[in-house]
Amino acid sequence: MTERAEDLERQIAESTVQVPSEVGAPTSETPAVGLTHASDQNRNATLREKPQESPLEEKNNQPNIVATEEYSSFTIAQKRAIIVTGSFAAWFSPMSGSIYYPALNQIAADLHVTSAKVSITVTTYLIMQGLAPMMIAGFSDKAGRRPAYLICFTIYIIANLALALQDSYIALLLLRMLQSAGSSGTVALAQGLVGDCITSSERETCRKIVGDGSFPPPWTSANLTDSIRYRKRARNGIEVNEAKAAELRKNHKLSIPNPIGTLVVLADFESAILLITNGIGIACFYAISTGASQAFHNLYGFDDLYVSLMFLPIGAGSLISIFTTGKLVDWNYRRHAKRLAFPLTKNRQTDLSTFPIELARIQIALPLFITSAASIIGYGWMLTHPIPLAGPIVLLLIFGYCQIGASQVLNILIIDIHPAAPATATAANNVLRCLIGAAATAAIIPMSEAVGNGWAYTILAGFFIGSCAGPIASMRYGIEWRRAKKEKAERRRKAKEARGLA
């Protein structure tokens, strides 16, 4: 009996095979198939309980990086309709400013004032364009976009009617400020609409369409519509999240406009250095627009019609930028996400704390800024002699493409840094952009008369190139600054909760 037992044990030992238990783990002896069926079942159950991680999961072990809820409940068609509507509303702001530039000489002649005095009306327009969104943006983030739009267009329509009837310089000055107060808020509201609907990975192309974000649409001012929607969902058997509805009622309510939120954005170091660069770039745009009317009239003898045609190259460059720059930025975002195994999920917002969003955006913006500055210098020196008109036209086209494209990239980066209040962040952008632009428009004509067009625009471009140190620093240290801000906010929140419990 003992010999038979020993023979059986020897046969079992000889029939074993070596199989790896896990990739990179030591091998273990496992009986051959058919000898120990129970062991096979146990081993298979263990493998099912411990599935191998994919390479993507091994590289990206960041918990809760993708939101569990859908970013927006709107369908793609609804999002497109919202963005198109917001874009059309935002169009009134740049349109109201741009149609004014070709007529500066004629306005000065009709009102019997100098060109420098007429340029002051552009300066005050830009000052109000920077200050008004500070009030309306925070209001819209709390009360909703629709009440804010109603206020803006009411002011805008009244100002336009009054401008059509006025015939004095003082009335023009004041009513242009009122017109700016009504129209300028629509750009910030359009940026907020995009932020309400589109995630960071999709946002740039849509924001380029808007022309210059990140909660569900506000509950207030939609009581009837939301009631109908909730009742329809209830009839369809879809459960309504009453807790979410209560939260929206609490967080979105009518309140007195408050500019404090905008000042908080301006006080943030990273935001400030980016906004200063963007502001100086747009100031160059305003300076060119203001000085072009007098420059082309004096140099080429153009009347108002031909002067207005000289603004078409900038518009053409901006239009080309809409169809190219946004796609480049979206491509660069996806490239960095793929390199870092960062998740790209449609209609899901992702936590950008560990993603170099500054690098992904500024890699596209920085070459455009430098090219834009070079075109400003060339344009200024071309205005010193009556050279063939093709020269200024080509440089204005390049400037329009590069400057508007780079400005939009920084606009979206500001929204990425402040996703909770897109309209407020855009208002902060408008403050510096318009205030610096106002200074440039007031200075460009006297400076051109004092030192000539060549040196005047070279000085502007020099300030512009110097300000690019801000985006370079943000590209290098931005992710560390955002992480430090997030940790500080978390400590403040915990301290507040501790005081509440105490």
**Cα–Cα distance list, 310 to 281, 295, 400 (Å):** 20, 11, 12
Are 211 and 188 contacting, i.e. CB atoms less than 8 angstroms apart? Answer: no
Query: What is the radius of gyration, based on Cα positions, of the chain?
Result: 30
Task: Decide: helix, strand or coil at residue 311.
Answer: coil
**Burial of 90 per CB tally in 10 Å (0-12, 13-18, 19+):** buried
How would DSSP label each residue in 8-49? HHHHHHHTEEEEESSTTSPEEEEEPTTT-HHHHHHHHHHHHH
pLDDT at 401: 94
Summarised one tens digit per residue, pLDDT across range 212-241 is 432 333 333 333 233 323 333 444 444 545
Q: Average per-residue pLDDT in the chain?
A: 76
Closest Cα to residue 293, out of 103, 490, 488? 103
- The Cα–Cα gap between 157 and 164 comes to 11
DSSP state letter for 113: -
Q: How far apart are CA 235 and CA 408, in angstroms?
A: 44
Q: Are 191 and 73 in contact (CB under 8 A)?
A: no
Residues 6+ apart with CB under 8 A from 477: none
What global pTM score does this model have?
Answer: 0.65
User: Rounded to the nearest 5°, which phi and psi values hold at 241?
Assistant: -80, 95
Which domains, from first to last, does the chain contain?
76-501 (1.20.1250.20)
pLDDT in tens, the chain (502 residues): 445 555 545 554 554 444 444 434 444 444 444 444 444 444 444 444 444 444 334 444 444 455 556 666 677 788 788 888 888 888 888 888 878 888 888 888 888 888 888 888 888 898 888 888 777 777 776 777 888 889 999 999 999 999 988 888 999 999 999 999 898 888 878 877 776 776 655 544 444 444 443 233 333 333 323 332 333 344 444 454 555 555 555 545 555 556 677 778 888 899 899 999 999 999 999 899 888 888 888 888 888 888 888 889 998 998 899 888 888 988 999 999 899 888 876 656 677 778 899 999 999 999 999 999 999 999 999 998 888 999 999 999 999 999 989 998 998 898 888 877 777 777 788 888 888 988 888 888 889 989 999 999 999 999 999 999 999 999 999 999 988 888 888 888 888 888 776 5
Which amino acid, one-letter code, is at 174? L
The torsion defined by the Cα of 281, 286, 288 and 292, in degrees rounded to 10, comes to: 170
Residue 240: Cβ within 10 Å count: 13
Query: CA dihedral in degrees (80, 82, 85, 91; nearest 10)?
Result: -90
Residue 101 has a pLDDT of 82
Residue recorded with tokens 């273990």 = 28
